[in-house]
A and B are shown apart, each in its own frame.
Chain A
Amino acid sequence: MDKVLVSSSSRHAAHHEAHSDRLTPLLRNSAEIGEWGSEDWDIAIRQARHAGLLARVEAQLVAKNLLTVAPIAAQAHLIAARNLAHKHNADVAREIRAIVAALAPLGVPVILLKGAAYAAAGLPPAEGRLFGDIDILIPQTTLDEAETLLMKAGWTSAKSDSYDQRYYREWMHELPPLQHEKRQTAIDVHHTIVPPTSRFAVDGKRLRDAAIGIGPDHINNTVMVLAPADMVLHSAVHLFTEGEFGRGLRDLCDLDRLLRYFSDVDPDFWDQLAERASTFHLERPLHYALRFCTRILDTPVPTRLQAFGAPGPLAARLMDRLFGRALRPPHPSCMDALSGTALFLLYIRAHYLRMPLSLLVPHLLRKAFIRRLEPATV
């Protein structure tokens, strides 16, 4: 199987890198974009929109004073995306205030994760970013009370199936997702960054102890974000173990921006990152994060970290094929005959990493067969 993957994928890879992917050159601010004609911009804008990166591209072009390199018609799309991203940024700020207010009676800091953290802490990935669910982290012992408080403030459980409820509560590191009745916004409440059943077990308390207060009353630590290394590790674990790649390239861009920013403000950052990865046994996801950031987005990762946490040569080659495909722009122009297979294998791998086989096999069987036989219960 590996042989098949290698031979046909190298042919496709060459084809696609040469002809189809117009998004990653834009994200890398590659010089080639100066030579582009309208057909290149046509495909670039479409790929960026599908990847949720249109406003990110706009922000990067503006920062490099390159917006006018794009034809006027393409600029209109970038400006439209910028307007949408501004709205998302304003909405996420309001949503965070609502969540923090609702959870104030808990008496513990609310730690924002992922997009919400970037927005609230003013970190570079927030620029030109669209936001979906808001993720927060609180102590496991406060989960039930938090759920009650959020429900009082208008959020309801979006998963009504009793199997789903049990799946989240027993096996996952979070409450079943909650959705606000009026605003339709969703919130995921976590107590750590990986499922407790997973082979990467991370104690939420160690993350909380290192977290950093932000916002106007940061001294009281009511709103916090993860420490820089933990923030990167969380993003890496999420992208390289959870098996969902619809926003994969966007998440990789977030990682790229975090890595550039943190290593710029703190020269010791890379060593802290490696050390923290070792502490939590997250060397492998970090390895993939650094490898694909470097390969796809030219992130300046120090050479000494290139082999850190690397798998054996055969696995490395296989994962290059799989992640290489999964991290292409999610647009039909970048798909090939093996894209579907790669995504399927990564989905299976994610479940395998998430829970032991004794839990995994019944879960997947249920997802595949049993649910189809049941009448929908709402």
Chain B
Amino acid sequence: MNSLAMRLGPFTATLETPFASLVDGLHQLYRPELFDVSDSFADFHVSLAPGKGVRRWFRQQARFLVDGESPFMPLPADQALPMFEWGLNYAIAAQAHQYLVVHAAAIELNGRVAILPGAPGAGKSTLTAALVQRGWRLLSDELALIRPEDGHVVPLARPINLKNRSIDIMRDYAPEAVFSRETHDTAKGTVALMRAPDDSMRRVGESAPVGWIVFPRWKEDAEARMEPWSRPAGLMEIAHNAMNYSLHEERGFNVLANIFEQSGCYRFTYSKLDDAIERFAALAASSLQS
């Protein structure tokens, strides 16, 4: 049995698992000091246990348990690493109601955060992966944690989930980046995790205020276009993407309204990553001048 503890932004998780490949995978994806946990309080007590009965050996399965409870069906054992990452996303969204948890990527440049909510297939993860390889700091790929007290986004700096074609696109785009082994035949197809840039992991303690909310959409052969979008429409859309928006009731609305008041709201259509990098750089520069 392998036991470890690790820091994930504001959280600490413990992991118990017989799957050594999962532990190796985590050490490949997270900086070593993140496993150096002295506090004995953990937020998530995770175990990736072997399947039950015959599934312990035959077509071996992995079960995700958080403090003894299993929210998902078992998966084939070779999916243990992505399952750990998905399971943590689930556990954070289900528990961390001290934050407004928005299903969105969050990246930072010049002290301002861009929140990128994305419907599945909108190319959010690919775009995020490209931007953080070109100077933006990764706060989160899937879950933007907004602190209600000050509206800041709190970083997680965890690996980015890439699917299918995006994996090869990113290997070409950032040959120096670190990727996990590919896992095939998952519910999302083939997946691989891209390690967060070291600078993002080192600065995981630095939260930052929101500067832009950008709704990205990948469209074949489209010219890159960053169009301003109605803030009320953007607010409705982001409330829809907030996993615990209704839980925060009136305060949740006020937090989002304040964020929209101080931020630019855009719809972004693109087909080429290089164009996207340029438009986002222009966006970050424009706010420095104003």
B40 in contact with A46 (CB, 8 Å): no
B41 in contact with A38 (CB, 8 Å): yes
Asked if A38 meets B249 with Cβ closer than 8 Å, knowing A81-B97, A332-B68, the reply is no
Asked if A38 meets B247 with Cβ closer than 8 Å, knowing A49-B67, A76-B98, A81-B97, the reply is no
B246 at the interface (CB under 8 A from A): yes
From A71, A74, A76, A79, residue with most partner B Cβ within 10 Å:
A76
Chain B positions within 8 Å of A76 at CB level: 10, 43, 96, 98
Write the nearest CB–CB distance from A276 to chain B, whole angstroms. Answer: 39
B42 in contact with A42 (CB, 8 Å): yes
A74–B12 CA distance with the chains assembled, in angstroms: 11
Write out, one digit per residue, whether chain A residues 337-364 have a CB within 8 A of any chain B CB (1) or not (0).
0000000000000000000000000000
A206 at the interface (CB under 8 A from B): no
B41 in contact with A39 (CB, 8 Å): yes
How many chain-A residues does the 8 Å CB contact rule pick out?
24
Q: A80's contact among B41, B67, B95, B249, by CB below 8 Å, is which?
A: B95
A331–B67 CA distance with the chains assembled, in angstroms: 9
A90–B41 CA distance with the chains assembled, in angstroms: 31
Write out, one digit per residue, whether chain A residues 64-89 have a CB within 8 A of any chain B CB (1) or not (0).
00000001011011011101101100
- Chain A residue at minimal CB-CB distance from B45: A46
B41 in contact with A83 (CB, 8 Å): no
A84 in contact with B97 (CB, 8 Å): yes
- Chain B residue at minimal CB-CB distance from A333: B68
- Chain A residue at minimal CB-CB distance from B95: A80
Chain B positions within 8 Å of A37 at CB level: 40
Asked if A90 meets B249 with Cβ closer than 8 Å, knowing A37-B40, A73-B41, A73-B43, the reply is yes
B42 in contact with A87 (CB, 8 Å): no
Chain A positions within 8 Å of B42 at CB level: 42
A166 at the interface (CB under 8 A from B): no
A142–B181 CA distance with the chains assembled, in angstroms: 64
B95 in contact with A74 (CB, 8 Å): no
B40 in contact with A39 (CB, 8 Å): yes
Write the nearest CB–CB distance from B149 to chain A, whole angstroms. Answer: 10
A331–B45 CA distance with the chains assembled, in angstroms: 13
A-B contact pairs, 15 of them (CB 8 A): A37-B40, A38-B41, A39-B41, A42-B40, A42-B41, A46-B45, A50-B67, A73-B41, A76-B43, A76-B98, A80-B98, A83-B98, A83-B247, A331-B67, A332-B68
What residues make up the interface of B, taking CB atoms closer than 8 Å to A?
Answer: 10, 12, 39-43, 45, 67-68, 95-98, 246-249
